[in-house]
Copies of this chain bind each other. A is one copy, B any other.
Amino acid sequence: MAMVLCFTAAVGYAEGNQTPATTASLTETIHQMTLGVDTLWVTIAAMLVFFMQAGFGMVEAGFIRAKNTCNILTKNFLDYSLASLMFFFVGYAFMFGEGSFIGGNGFCLIGCDETVGTVQIWAFWFFQAAFCGAAATIVAGGMAERMKFPAYLIYTVVISALVYPIVGHWIWGGGWLAEMGFKDFAGSTVVHATGGWAAFIGTILLGPRLGKYVNGKAKAIAGHNIPLACLGVFILWFGWFGFNPGSTVAVGDGADLALVAMNTNLSAAAGGVTAMIVVWILVGKPDLSMTMNGALAGLVAITAPCAFVTPTAAILIGAIGGVIVVLGVLLLDRIRVDDPVGAVPVHGMNGLWGTIAVGLFDVNDGLFNGGGVKLLGTQILGTLTVSLFVIVSMGLVFLAIRNTIGLRVSRAEELRGLDIGEHGMESYAGFQIFVTE
């Protein structure tokens, strides 16, 4: 039966040419196919990175109280949407355009080459835009349950249009850190340290939630939906297989992307296990929230080194990440920084750790592989500089917001919940829920 089909795009090279193939025509055909396969891979990876947004949303929502759930989901939804638009209009140009401190051409992709390496520009943009959204959304968790919605929208526009692209330009856009030989394969610093330290300064400037510190002691405020948070962690882990392996930006013979995927998986697994063990020892019970944050810590930590280290090193890096996240959560509680979902230990501290780990475990230039301290020094310098830059620049932004429209909702609204206050809706209509402060 001859299928009638008005649906397919032109199928091009697959159709038999009338003229016999030559080595020259075959070379061209293979080149087109390489463009196709590499673009397909980066597009699929971008989809997975996009899907991480659902993971962030569910983790953040699950770890906070029911009364603020719609609020954080709206933030999560909007930061990705605004980041997509901003990164099209200006962010991509700031990040990948020419310039030393910041890029300056390619707004709306005008004038850009059709391909980046062997990837169509549209796919490369989509992949990078999804990264930008991830950096933006990390902050929502740290500042959850008390930040004004309009303030969040302003923050989002600034980080996705300006701060993230500047950091990205330095490291992935040919800027000064790139020139120094700084290595951050998939963004422990570019994405996670940026998001994590922005959350850190934002959380400090916002102050702790009502009822978090009573008589000088930190009080646990339980998350309202742990299964949802758990699902979110699985979605993040799943999406990370786009985030890290996709950063190869080419398929080649598959060795790089496969090693990266394996390392990513092992590091996450190790982080979850060590976090569980440490919290079991320190607190007496294998806490699921901490275990899940341990896996996320392992994922953040392996993001920079995933393509540069062996699987055994990946396990070590993740395992240490799991320890860091538990100690980090306890430390923040001691210094009274109220980070409801652990954004700072997961993304900030482990962003640092992962970046530094490259200097230790890199198979060629790492300290433990006889590479000396040169790379290690560059990694430490780079990640600390970026963290400091983010804290200062985002600190100024948050201060400006605080002194104009205000960062924080009213006491009454915080007690009642931001779902009603900011959005006029409830997350779980019909359910009997105790509203606590």
Contact = CB atoms under 8 A, between A and B. Distances in A.
Nearest to A105: B1
Interface in A107-135: 108-109, 111-114, 116-123, 125-126, 129
Nearest to A249: B8
Contacts of A90: none
A39 interface: yes
A414 to B, nearest CB: 15
A38 to B, nearest CB: 7
B125 A262 contact: yes
Contacts of A18: none
Interface residues of A, number: 159
B254 A35 contact: yes
A41 B33 CA distance: 13
- Judged by DSSP, the binding face of A is helix
A332 interface: no
A432 B434 CA distance: 7
Nearest to A228: B227
A11 B118 contact: yes
Interface stretch (A57-65, A192-200, A375-383, A389-397): A57-65
B222 A6 contact: no
Interface in A237-261: 237-238, 241, 245, 247-259, 261
Given A273-B78, A431-B224, A119 B57 contact: no
A261 B12 contact: no
A428 interface: yes
Interface string A250-285: 111111111101100110111011001000000111
Contacts of A120: 253-255, 258-259
A152 to B, nearest CB: 11
This chain's copy number in the assembly: 3
B425 A435 contact: no
A39 B254 contact: yes
A218 interface: no
Interface stretch (A139-147, A289-297, A341-349, A360-368): A289-297
A7 to B, nearest CB: 4
Contact of A32 (B113, B253, B287): B253
A295 B81 CA distance: 9
Q: Which of A69, A248, A427 has the most CB of B within 10 A?
A: A427
A261 B434 CA distance: 43
A271 to B, nearest CB: 9
Nearest to A27: B21
A226 interface: yes
A278 to B, nearest CB: 14
B172 A291 contact: no
A276 B78 contact: yes
A211 interface: no
A18 B419 CA distance: 63
A33 B30 contact: yes
Given A14-B118, A291-B77, A311-B88, A253 B36 contact: yes
Interface in A2-30: 2-14, 16, 20-24, 26-27, 29-30
7 contacts: A8-B116, A10-B250, A33-B251, A73-B226, A108-B311, A119-B258, A285-B423
The 6 A-B pairs of least Cβ separation, nearest first, read A39-B254, A4-B174, A54-B234, A222-B429, A122-B258, A123-B258
